[in-house]
Structure 1
């Protein structure tokens, strides 16, 4: 037999439980504590009950008494008294319960019905959009799944007891990877000393002026995460095609200069090296080279990759080429701010590190000599990038600007400084790497231990 509500096409509801909860709170003010974390005014189906609960909530937040008289008075001040049926209906609610003994159970039923209604709404909206036929079906599916997941997470609550959190953290500290890192390895010892690996939920901004080797460095990091860290990795490339990125990765992997690969000027033994690049071939790296990728599409694709492949690292090349929310299309700074916030949200929601490449402003070029080293203020178009990021890393090649020696007379040819300008949970330091531009390859420099200073950026962050 079909459910009566289904026959009448009425959304799931529990009117009698809504009445019981409202009446119980007006009888015993302290009962509000038991339900405040479970439901809010939107949890109620009856519009009258939404207004009454809103009035009760406002009284509680003002530390005022909660009873028939005060609720009626608050409804009158809010202009909602007549809409709920007047003082008579409010008084009638208290006559339907004897006490607040079962109020938590009743609130749970109200929340269950609310979740059922919201699930129906989400599925119905998805169905309407599918019938329109003007949107990508995979994006619609991901939006629906994400909405339902968020709905469930919200209803589950976010309150945890400290003792449980401490136990979880102690277990986390005791459980380290074989290489002693707590995050995904970069493949460079001097960098891992600073980061302990790329940490879950962190947003890492990798920035530098053109010619610094950002994309090559990013590809080295992705290769190392997938091969050394055994982490499925995805690259969202908004500037280069998947073929161009693959050529650069093959050059770095085989040691064959990129120009030889592009010119197809290869010897038989070089073809042999290609076909035996086992580590790269067997790694799990995805490349999405969609141009003008929207932030909504990005979030949907990442969620799908997390579900289907348990993706461990997300990389974006680069941030300024993404399309933000349409409401900010006429304000570039706000659009970039919304993109950086979304990148951080993806890192947190999926619990994976996100590395986003970023442009720097031309102010760098206007400074003289060694002062061309980037600063946080050089991040292009938005200060919110610095605010949202857990780490900001600048690449700087002194040789590019004609600086061939340092102050001690050491050669700077082929040297790349990896400067951590912001490191929310670690030290401000610099790792020194060697860069072979012809082969798109970064390497450690022998004899540089990568010691970490005690300086932190705590004062800069807070």
Structure 2
């Protein structure tokens, strides 16, 4: 069977692994910890190991006869060399004594082949002047990540003694880092901090709403609060230009009239105040990327680079459905599948970098047909996988926008009332967090009911 002489491989080691699995029952559980079918260099060996995997997962006995039968049923027996070759494999091995070492050798050779193939493809891409350079960089990052994930030798199997030690160590770290009950990233809202303990490392937080409800404004408020607590923030804005985010941040930080600012009619006092606000904001550890064509892979590449410099403690993405979702080699996937893949990548990004990822999402139109327009989990647009991968799902709701004067659940007047409805919280309670805002949502703070309302309630 012809193969490139530049590719590293070891036929005798592949035969030894397959022979050991055919010979001893205890061998397959060891092999599956390290190997997948594609890690074998020879086509017939890949087919044989694939059959062994199917049998192992189906809890069927593995020996020469059963493996030959499995290959017959899948019409692959002749492709691997017939019953003679299967018998030959098992006769060449005395025992599975060195199986673990043999598996590690095959894994090492596979990773080297993947690097050779991947870097060759990257070299061609880099020389192709029609390709966007950031696409090439993202492909390079993806290659390194894939090889890195396979190369890292971790043992996730822990006994209870080790698990309890690790659990107590994390609990001790929470106690040391707790500030008024906040163990994660400060959200800027007292009730939200109480509910979540702050945004926690490794969590994917979804904040969803219909257009024009204020997703970007609430997220900028959360990002600014995190930065003011001294943490490094990466804010990825796919929808809005960076300068427009700058406008909103200046309005949050000052008392400048939003209408006057938008229309260029600020007076001298307001202009000086805006300049002072800009100087204060310039000291915050926030980095904003407003590339309109960014994908989750692009964001991951940026975040990994910043993390390596100690400059990425939390990531905000505005918003999911606008991210570039064209996956090379998977152009036939549906929009729902692409959204699901992007949500999953966001969760994996949170785990990989061990930091919170706050991801904005759209709601579908059916929420507008419900009385009160109060969002539910079923309203998440295009993919139930968003709910599945998220640790926290929150809906931004402003009841005044639907014509209500009183919120049904709380009884609060709706003017200036915002609600973050926590519909899913994997590690805590669900419920409502109320906040107050001005008409432009440039001022957001903890909600305190109006004095008139509280006086009426006391009667």
Q: TM-score normalised to the size of structure 1? A: 0.83
Q: Unpaired segments of 5 or more residues in structure 1? A: 1-7, 449-462
Contact conserved, 2:293 with 2:323, CA < 8 A, in 1?
A: yes
Q: Map 1:199-348; keep pairs closer than 5 Å.
A: 199-228=200-229, 230-262=230-262, 263=264, 265-268=266-269, 270-271=271-272, 274-275=275-276, 279-325=280-326, 331-348=334-351
Task: Spell out, residue by residue over 1:166-206, the C-alpha distance to the aligned partner (whole angstroms, 9 max, x if none).
Answer: 32222111113241323211011111111111122322222
Task: Spell out, residue by residue over 1:47-84, the C-alpha distance to the aligned partner (whole angstroms, 9 max, x if none).
Answer: 33323333444444455554444444444444444433
Q: For residue 453 of structure 2, what is the aligned residue in structure 1?
A: none
Q: TM-score normalised to the size of structure 2? A: 0.84
C-alpha RMSD of the superposition: 3.1
Q: Map 1:387-398; keep pairs closer than 5 Å.
A: 387-398=388-399
SS in 2 for 1:175: helix
Question: How far apart in 2 are the matches of 1:248 and 1:315?
Answer: 16
Q: For residue 170 of structure 1, what is the aligned residue in structure 2?
A: 168
Question: How far apart in 1 are the matches of 2:54 and 2:277?
Answer: 69
Task: Spell out, residue by residue over 1:361-386, the C-alpha distance to the aligned partner (whole angstroms, 9 max, x if none).
Answer: 44444445xx2332333333444433
In the superposition, relative to structure 1, how do residues 93 and 134 fare at CA in structure 2: closer, same or farther (>3 Å)?
A: same
In the superposition, relative to structure 1, how do residues 264 and 281 fare at CA in structure 2: closer, same or farther (>3 Å)?
A: farther
Shift of 1:34: 2.5
Q: Unpaired segments of 5 or more residues in structure 2? A: 451-459
Shift of 1:127: 1.2
SS in 2 for 1:130: helix
Q: For residue 140 of structure 2, what is the aligned residue in structure 1?
A: 144
Contact conserved, 1:393 with 1:419, CA < 8 A, in 2?
A: yes
Contact conserved, 1:396 with 1:416, CA < 8 A, in 2?
A: yes
Pick from 89, 93, 111 the counterpart of residue 93 of structure 1: 89
In the superposition, relative to structure 1, how do residues 257 and 126 fare at CA in structure 2: closer, same or farther (>3 Å)?
A: same
In the superposition, relative to structure 1, how do residues 99 and 197 fare at CA in structure 2: closer, same or farther (>3 Å)?
A: same
SS in 2 for 1:36: helix
Question: How far apart in 1 are the matches of 2:411 and 2:103?
Answer: 73
Q: For residue 418 of structure 1, what is the aligned residue in structure 2?
A: 420
Contact conserved, 1:122 with 1:148, CA < 8 A, in 2?
A: no
Question: How far apart in 2 are the matches of 1:52 and 1:208?
Answer: 50
Q: For residue 456 of structure 2, what is the aligned residue in structure 1?
A: none
Contact conserved, 1:211 with 1:400, CA < 8 A, in 2?
A: no
Question: How far apart in 2 are the matches of 1:330 and 1:143?
Answer: 19
Tell me if 1:442 matches 2:444: yes
Question: How far apart in 2 are the matches of 1:64 and 1:211?
Answer: 57
In the superposition, relative to structure 1, how do residues 360 and 93 fare at CA in structure 2: closer, same or farther (>3 Å)?
A: closer
Shift of 1:346: 2.8
Q: For residue 14 of structure 1, what is the aligned residue in structure 2?
A: 10
